[in-house]
Structure 1
Amino acid sequence: MSNWVLLLALSFIPFTTVMAKSILVFGDSISAAYGMEVQQGWVTLLQKKLAAEHNNYLISNASISGETTAGGLSRIDAALSQYKPDIVVLELGANDGLRGLSAAAMKTNLTEMIKRSQTAGAKVLLLGMKIPPNYGKRYIEMFYSIYPQLAETLHIPLLPFLLEDVALQPDLMQADGLHPNALAQPAIAAKVWQYLQPLIK
């Protein structure tokens, strides 16, 4: 094919296709739309907002219900290779806390996932989580302090608590008291958007 024919063909490819950028959401059940249709989840709602305002970004959701930071670490390299993200939205740790797993191991796993994402050329947005008060003050403080520590030392933005406007609203939570319901998803998407938008700009 001659050069001018190739250029002519490329001219008909939509600009957004040529310049499309990738956002990878890497989390657990909160991001995997547990207990509802996938299209109701906050990740899908966020993709719709991106399509309206920044249509050169596409979201891929590699979240798995029940995922721990150890499980995430075992999957992160394959996900980075497959999706080649420009931005990674990392939402893991809640299942470590709910299972009473080592806070130090959780911190190490999150650190490694962030560093591998950055090495792959991606910006990282960390989504913080909290666990119920019955796990004891010391463990809760250790757990929650991990997120701001990582944000500071690794120079990444942090959404302090993903369910900040949701967790204490019974009408926005599922019967288990741990997972947000479909009504909560727009608020979660809006919260993530506040912290994601600066990375896009």
Structure 2
Amino acid sequence: MPWSALSDQGQPPSSQADTAAYRLLVLGDSLSAAYGLKQHQGWVSLLQNIWRDDKVPIDVVNAAISGETTDGGLARLPRLLEQHNPSHVLIELGGNDGLQGHPVDKLKANLTQMITLAKASDATVLLQDMQIPTNYGKRYTDMFSQAFDDVAAEQNVVLVPFFLESIALDPSLMQRDKIHPNADAQPQIAEWMNTTLKPLILPAG
């Protein structure tokens, strides 16, 4: 899970974008960067394949980098918005902030600034809920979890449920580090994200 990525090696973002009515920019960390796997095995690539096979008019740009924090995401976002002009942005960041014990107020400020930047570029923002273990105690963990609810409510954006909620509890779906989902888990994540994200991106009807 994202709280492990202290030792992750950064990977360059990979764009799978084609030409479609909608473009989803995934701004994330190791959970979206196919950590420990080939890029094509990761859930983001698999999700793009699902949408292409089903002729869903959504392109995906994977701008996830292992080890990324909200500081890094905020620094990279302006150029990514300019370069890719996404219609939607999924912010899947914050886990590494939590593992490193970053101040929750700073986490919330960074998330808020990213949302503001994305909205200013006319993109719709989806905020990925994140979870961390209780390394820093219950108080910090509770404050961390509440931060995502607060930011989503304050900024009026959709809070997407944590996509490893059940997978993280199944050792057969996790890598040997017991932190990152393995290759077997990726199709499950992709299918879950397909079901969750598609109705949030495509217009009703």
TM-score after normalising by structure 2? 0.85
Structure 1 residue runs of 4 or more that deviate by more than 6 Å after TM superposition: none
**2-structure distance, mates of 1:189, 1:156:** 22
- Is there any run of 5+ residues in structure 1 with no aligned partner, and where? 1-15
Q: CA deviation at 1:190?
A: 2.1
Q: CA deviation at 1:179?
A: 0.9
Tell me what 2:75 maps to. Answer: 74
Q: CA deviation at 1:25?
A: 0.6
Counterpart contact for 2:99–2:135, Cα < 8 Å: no
Counterpart contact for 1:90–1:127, Cα < 8 Å: yes
TM-score after normalising by structure 1? 0.87
Which amino acid is the alignment partner of residue 202 of structure 2? I
**1-structure distance, mates of 2:85, 2:108:** 24
Q: Identity percentage over the alignment?
A: 48
Tell me what 1:21 maps to. Answer: 22
Q: What are the equivalent positions in structure 2 for 1:64-143 lying under 5 Å apart?
A: 64-143=65-144
Give the number of the structure with larger relative contact order, counting CA–CA contacts within 8 Å between residues 6 or more apart.
2
| Segment drifting more, 152-161 vs 106-115 | 152-161
Q: What secondary structure, in the 3-state scheme, does the structure 2 residue paired with 1:140 have? A: helix
Tell me what 2:8 maps to. Answer: none
Tell me what 1:50 maps to. Answer: 51
Tell me what 1:169 maps to. Answer: 170
Alignment RMSD: 1.5
Counterpart contact for 1:159–1:192, Cα < 8 Å: no
**2-structure distance, mates of 1:109, 1:54:** 35
Which amino acid is the alignment partner of residue 41 of structure 1? G
Q: What secondary structure, in the 3-state scheme, does the structure 2 residue paired with 1:33 have? A: coil
Tell me what 2:11 maps to. Answer: none
Higher helix fraction: Structure 1 or Structure 2? Answer: 1
Which amino acid is the alignment partner of residue 150 of structure 2? Q
- Is there any run of 5+ residues in structure 2 with no aligned partner, and where? 1-17
Tell me what 2:9 maps to. Answer: none
Tell me what 1:200 maps to. Answer: 202
**1-structure distance, mates of 2:81, 2:183:** 29
**1-structure distance, mates of 2:163, 2:105:** 21
The structure having more radius of gyration, on CA atoms, is 1
